[in-house]
A and B are shown apart, each in its own frame.
Chain A
Amino acid sequence: MLTAKFVRAHAIPTLSSGQGFAWFFRLLYEFWGFCVNGDNSLTTPGAAAFAPVTGVLGFPANFATTGTLASGSDGFTAVGQPFFNSLSATAFSASYVGKHVVAWQSGSTSTDDSVYQITQWLNSSSVRVNVLQGGTPYSGSLHPAFTARSSVNWRVVDFTVAATLAGFSTTDSLILQLSDAGNVNPAQPSPQVRLRRQTTPNLEVGVTLSPSGSWGVHSGTLGFTDPTTELLPGGWFSGNETPAYVSLFAAGDFIISHYKSSNDVRSSGFHVEVPQRLYPQGTDPNPVAGMTWAILVPSLLDASNHYGGGFYMHNPPDGSTMQYYGAARRFDGFDNDTLAAATNGSTNGAYFNTYQNKFLFSDVLLQQPTVQGQYQLGRARLRRVRVLPPIVPQFERVGNNGEWLHVVNGVMWPWDNSILPYNLFLGGN
């Protein structure tokens, strides 16, 4: 499915070093495996979620099962309500308060498919959850709430138990499949991205892209046949990684993660997506782009990070992992002024039409102008980010249907028009 789903401001409590990162990977496993790609299995992620052979690499033996306290396929919710219910008379224990419900329906496009913290036990069939962490904008208020659904698959997960397992290592990885690539670009196979939980020398997520989705055993060795150089942005944290807030944005063609530990004012994260192919299909059959950052507030002004110059793709002409620079439409007609450099002042009206109540914003092309012999004016168009002058207020919803959220510094990520009663980035940017 190409409809984005969200985990909004998921809170990770204070844990020992390394355990918060383990929690984060179990959250990725649950959200990507079940909420985004799940079928009707209550124990196994959807077949499209991870590489078929050891798509969950390493991790303690019971990583995927430890902490799963209960499950069912009989969940139901009512429109506008924060209550998650089961037909079973013994579904929920009072001890589940503080644990999380993972809710999904196979093939659903509902943003109700998400991960929610249980905030109150009502009875053995009903719990109240923090529905703001997922949910669907309610028609009256646009605050996230459940919609009316039945036969909802659910798992109750204790992330703390999973995070405190012994045996995590620096090779632990999730090999995600972007199985909707063919719905973005004709005839594109599903690329894969390896998210490695590196612990040495730093706690960080290593991102490796495989345009053809080649993860498997090759000549006796497990790996890719067409990997990019692993993107390692540096340590994600300047201290302990917890407490923290995590937000995830994902669909079958992309995943964006924003991880903000309380020990630094800056965030870390990654953005991986299948961009729109601008070259002929035969020339560029499998475009997939990735970007990571570490303790660095997302920005448009950085020529070597984020959307200014932080994306990487496999470059078939020379087999390299190529850095790409973002290009956006200028609004003032003059090449020496960039959209990112717009300053607050008398020209604010150049970006917002007060008569029409409309913003002007731009898409982003990936280009490579600097490497000798590899000039590319516009290889691909990022589909899961838009940019606008950073003078627009943070967390402004933009789009006819609020389909973009100005997260920070002119960067807009996919959104569902929800209004949160608090900042999405509760821990900072």
Chain B
Amino acid sequence: MRHLSRDLLTISSASCPGTNMYALTIFLVGCGGYSLVGQTNFDIRSGSFQVAAGVGASIGGSVPVLVHLPTGSHVVSAADFNRILALRSAARPLANSGLFRVIGWATASNSLSVDYRSTAAPVAESNLSWQLFIDEVAAAQSWRSGSNGTAGYGSFSPAGDVSSSASRIVLKSPDPSSWQVRLCLESDHDVSGSCPSGFSIAPGFNGNGNGDFTEAPAGREPWYGQRLHLHSAMFYNTSDPKYLGTVVGLSPALGVTGSWRISMMVDDLTGSCAIVNRNVSLPGSGSGWAAFGLCEDETSVPAPNNAGDPSLNVRRLFVAGSSNRASNLTWTSQFHVDNNVQVVGFGRRGYPVPGVLSCYSDISNPGNTHARYLTSSADSAWTGTTELLDVEVLIGTVDQAASASAQPVFPLQPARLGRLPMLMQGRANATQWAVYGTYYHTVDGVYLSWGGPAPTDAASGSGVNVASGSLALGQGVGVFAAADPGSDPISSPASPRVDLVDATRYRKTYSYYRQVPVVAKVIKGG
């Protein structure tokens, strides 16, 4: 089930990018079914960021929108003003779930008045799960950005006496694979090194109590000792700028304060999530987007007997966002280029690799005219609707140094992960920040899955016609085995994994490791 958080307006003195991390965290915990693994200076539990929590809240069906809280859980007061109420609705997750700013209180009914961020009145609903958090400015008082003082990656604690104060947190997703995500306000040391975005989002496995990813501990064979996450700087313990582009977050305006509007969607089954920023008063662009988690229509899902193997499941994870301090709402994804989108996945050889978002472009591209970017682009003459196409996540098709003369940092190893969840591509000249059917057009043809009430001042466009590239239907980008003329067809992946076979055990008989090498284009047995 998808939950939508609609257009949360930050306080005008909110700091960027910390508020993105804060809103995302409480949304994942409050609506997405995530749970805490560990943190440093980012304690979302009761007594710190979280004021109170419970079940049995009810939302009224009129304006002003009142949310009644059980008095046994929390007694409303003036102190609740500006706090953020996270509601989780089972019946109307696209309307009544999300983060809502507290704009008033009613002691008599023990209710909070919330900014519903829509001119539409809510449909009354009871028995909502709820969590109340302090506002982002108050929370910012506890955020830190200290490095561990080493020459490597500074925003983690590799040992008890080598620690960093950088605010960070690891949350566990509700997905059966239990993949996790680490959110981090990178230290100044790393911002000037390999993490200029300042705020990183890194899915992975093996989070610890400090909010860091570690090597898989003993007892977790066969992946013992492996680092299984999508944060390159921590993966290599480096601040080397050559890893720029492979630490991704959402920082449309690093280190400044202002106001912006945050919309988010999360799937409480897989944990996949998308976040979109709309600038109000941040200097610079201030808008941007990010998404992370598992793709839809995935190419490679482990066999049932390997479903719990994190070293396989980590290959399914992706994060798309900004690796730099300037981001934008765009489909152009390039390696560490300002205002473009960066993608990180995990290669089959066991390390993070950069990727791209694969959209449709004209094959022949006459005059650099792309169908989505024409000023004459319009709704379909057939249906009167705006046409949307899905986007695929590819990894291993770009590199930091993909030129004829420079040595690549990440060997190219193209692979399709699947369809980008929750976001679709469409014509770029649609009205900005307008609801088109069940999608919300942000900017430049980036459409966020919506389905809930329109934001307060959103324009209303036509409906949408969605064309999906489901691989199950034989569509979409296909990654298929090559069959070089003269070679044998490639066999399907075997289970259990051939790379986990104990070579010693099989050495005296036939094993994968003793298979006679076959020169390409020589036919085995043919």
Cβ–Cβ < 8 Å partners of A309 in chain B: 364, 366
Count chain A CB atoms within 10 A of each CB in B362, B397, B492, B523 and give the residue with the most. B362
Which secondary structure dominates chain B's binding surface? Answer: loop
The distance from the CB of A406 to the nearest CB of chain B, in whole angstroms, is: 10
Give which listed residue, B378, B392, B480, B490, contacts A329 with CB less than 8 A.
B392
**CB of A317, distance to nearest CB on chain B (Å):** 5
Q: Tell yes or no: B403 within 8 A of A by CB.
A: yes
A340–B340 alpha-carbon span in the complex (Å): 22
The yes or no answer to B221 lying at the interface (CB within 8 A) is no
A283 and B370 form a contact (CB under 8 A): no
Q: How far is the CA of A379 from the CA of B385 in the complex (A)?
A: 12
> Counting CB contacts under 8 A, is A18 at the interface?
no
CB atoms of B485 and A397 under 8 A apart: yes
Bound CA–CA A56/B377 (angstroms): 43
Question: Quick check: which of A8-16, A205-213, A363-371 contacts chain B, the rest being far away?
Answer: A363-371
**A327, B427: Cβ atoms under 8 Å?**
no
Once A333-B357, A349-B412, A357-B482 are accepted as A-B contacts, the answer to whether A381 and B475 lie under 8 Å apart by CB is: yes
Q: Given A300-B363, A335-B370 in contact, is the A375-B485 Cβ separation under 8 Å?
A: no
The proximity string for A residues 367-385 relative to B, scoring 1 for CB distances below 8 Å and 0 otherwise, is 1011011111111010100
Residue B516 at the chain A interface, CB threshold 8 Å = no
Interface positions of A from 290 to 343, Cβ below 8 Å from B: 300-304, 307-309, 316-318, 325-336, 338-341
| A357 B481 Cβ-Cβ under 8 A | yes
CB contact list, B464-509 vs A, under 8 A: 465, 467, 469, 473-486, 489-490, 492
**Contact (Cβ within 8 A) B381 A351:** no
Expressed in whole angstroms, the Cα–Cα distance for A294 and B397 within the complex equals: 35
In the assembled complex, which residues on chain B have CB atoms less than 8 Å from the CB atom of A377? Answer: 371-372, 377, 380, 387, 389, 426-427
Give A318 to B356 CA distance when docked, in angstroms: 38
Interface: B196 (CB within 8 A) = no
A401 proximal to B (CB < 8 A): yes
Q: In whole Å, how far is B71's beta carbon from the nearest beta carbon of chain A?
A: 51
Q: Find the B residue at minimum CB distance from A339.
A: B363
Which residues in window 241-260 of B have CB below 8 A to A? none
Q: Determine the distance from Cα of A330 to Cα of B396 in the docked complex, in whole angstroms.
A: 13
Residues of B within 8 A of A279 (CB): 380, 382-383, 465
Question: Which residues of chain A are near B477, meaning CB under 8 Å?
Answer: 329, 360-363
Instruction: Say if the beta carbon of B402 comes within 8 Å of chain A.
Output: yes
Q: Are A333 and B332 in contact (CB under 8 A)?
A: yes
**Residues on the A chain within 8 Å of B370, using CB:** 335, 369
Q: Contact residue range for chain B? A: 35 or more
**Minimum C-beta distance from B519 to chain A (A):** 14
Chain A CB within 10 Å, residue with most, of B411, B484, B489:
B489
Q: Is the CB of A331 within 8 A of B360?
A: no
Digit string of B109-150 for contact with A (CB within 8 Å is 1, else 0)?
Answer: 000000000000000000000000000000000000000000
* Chain A CB within 8 A of B285 CB: no
A369 touching B371, Cβ below 8 Å: yes
Q: How far is the CA of A348 from the CA of B334 in the complex (A)?
A: 17
- A253–B402 Cα gap in the complex (Å)? 42
A386 lies within 8 A of B402 (CB): no
Binds A, one of B14-22, B31-39, B87-95, B413-421: B413-421
Residue B314 lies at the interface, judged by CB distance under 8 Å to chain A: no
| A333-B389 CB under 8 A given contacts A357-B481, A378-B360 | no
Q: How many Cβ-Cβ contacts under 8 Å join chain A to chain B?
A: 256
B368 interface contact, C-beta 8 A: yes
Min CB distance A87 to B, Å, is 32
Chain A residues with Cβ under 8 A from B380's Cβ?
279, 375-377
Are B484's CB and A396's CB within 8 A?
A: yes
B467: nearest residue on chain A (CB-CB)? A278
Q: Which of A276, A284, A358, A387 contacts B475 (CB 8 A)?
A: A276
| Total interface residues in chain A, CB < 8 Å | 84
Dominant SS among interface residues on chain A: loop
Contacting pair B485 A419 (CB below 8 A)? yes
Interface: A140 (CB within 8 A): yes
Using known A-B contacts A335-B370, A419-B486, determine if residue A140 contacts B363 with beta carbons closer than 8 Å: no
> Which residue, of A375, A383, A399, has the highest number of chain B Cβ atoms within 10 A?
A375
* Smallest CB gap from A395: residue in B: B485
Instruction: Please measure, in the bound complex, the distance between the C-alpha atom of A297 and the C-alpha atom of B177, giving whole angstroms.
Output: 50
Cβ-based interface call for A346 (8 A): yes
Q: Does B283 contact A (CB under 8 A)?
A: no
**Which residues on A sit within 8 Å (CB–CB) of B515?**
none
When the two chains form the complex, which single residue of B364, B373, B387, B483 contacts A325, counting CB atoms closer than 8 Å?
A: B364
Chain B, Cβ-Cβ closest to A363:
B475
- Verify A398–B348 contact, CB threshold 8 A: no
- Judging by beta carbons under 8 Å apart, are B412 and A140 in contact? no
Q: Which residues of B contact A338 (CB under 8 A)?
A: 361-365
- A354, B481: Cα distance in complex, Å: 10
Measured CB to CB, the closest approach of chain A to B132, in angstroms, equals: 41
Q: Does B333 contact A (CB under 8 A)?
A: yes
A186 within 8 Å of B (CB atoms): no
Asked if B382 contacts A352 (CB within 8 A), the reply is no
Inter-chain contact A356/B363, CB cutoff 8 Å: no
> B408 at interface (Cβ–Cβ under 8 A)?
yes
Across the interface, B480 reaches (CB within 8 A) one of A142, A355, A399, A419, namely A399
Q: In the complex, A340→B490 CA distance in Å? A: 27
B526 within 8 A of A: yes
Mark each residue of chain B from 332 to 353: 1 if its CB lies under 8 Å from any CB of chain A, else 0. 1110000011010000110000
Asked whether, in the complex, the Cβ of A376 is within 8 Å of the Cβ of B363, the reply is no
| Distance in Å: Cβ of A84 to nearest Cβ of chain B | 24
Q: Which of A151-180 contact B (CB under 8 A)?
A: none
CB-contacts of B403-456 with A (<8 A): 403-404, 408, 411-416, 426-427
Name the distance in Å between B286's Cβ and chain A's nearest Cβ: 23
Determine if B363 and A359 form an interchain contact, defined as CB atoms under 8 angstroms apart. no
Nearest opposing residue in chain B for A380, CB measure: B467
Q: How far is the CA of A212 from the CA of B413 in the complex (A)?
A: 45
Interface centre among B361, B376, B490, B525 (most CB of A within 10 A): B361
Judging by beta carbons under 8 Å apart, are B389 and A417 in contact?
no
By the criterion CB–CB under 8 Å, are B408 and A346 in contact?
yes
Across the interface, which residues of A come within 8 angstroms of B414, CB to CB?
A: 331, 349-353, 358, 360
* CB of A280 within 8 Å of the partner chain: yes
Q: Contact between B475 and A355 (Cβ–Cβ < 8 Å)?
A: no
User: B364, B408, B490, B526: which contacts A308 (Cβ < 8 A)?
Assistant: B364
CA A395 to CA B359, docked complex, whole Å? 27
Q: Say if the beta carbon of B78 comes within 8 Å of chain A.
A: no
Contact across chains for B374 and A369 when beta carbons are under 8 A apart: yes
Given A279-B465, A329-B392, A353-B414: A347 and B402 within 8 A (CB)?
yes
A280 to B463, CA, bound (A): 13
B residues within 8 A CB of A367?
Answer: 360, 362, 371
Query: Which residue of A has the minimal Cβ distance to B347?
Result: A355
Known A141-B523, A349-B412, A360-B416; contact A325-B363, beta-carbon cutoff 8 A: yes
Please tell me if the beta carbons of B467 and A372 are within 8 angstroms of each other in the complex.
no
The 8 Å CB contact of B356, one of A141, A276, A331, is A331
Q: Are A330 and B361 in contact (CB under 8 A)?
A: yes
Contacts of A370 in B (CB 8 A): 369, 374, 376
Assess whether A400 is interfacial by the CB under 8 Å rule: yes
In the complex, what residues of A have CB within 8 A of residue B404's CB?
A: 345-346
What's the least CB distance linking A414 to chain B, in Å? 12
Q: Which A residues are CB-close (under 8 A) to B364?
A: 300-303, 308-309, 325-326, 338, 340
Q: What's the minimum C-beta distance from A145 to chain B, rounded to whole angstroms? A: 12
8 residue pairs of the A-B complex, CB under 8 angstroms, read A284-B382, A327-B361, A339-B363, A350-B412, A370-B369, A375-B380, A396-B483, A419-B486
The 7 closest A-B pairs by CB, nearest first: A308-B364, A333-B356, A349-B412, A303-B366, A333-B333, A369-B371, A377-B387
Which B residues are within 8 Å of any A CB, using their own CB? 331-334, 340-341, 343, 348-349, 356-366, 368-374, 376-383, 387, 389, 392, 394, 396-398, 402-404, 408, 411-416, 426-427, 465, 467, 469, 473-486, 489-490, 492, 523, 525-526
10 further A-B pairs in the complex, CB-CB below 8 A; given A326-B362, A359-B479, A365-B389: A280-B465, A283-B382, A303-B362, A333-B356, A338-B365, A350-B396, A367-B371, A396-B485, A398-B482, A400-B492
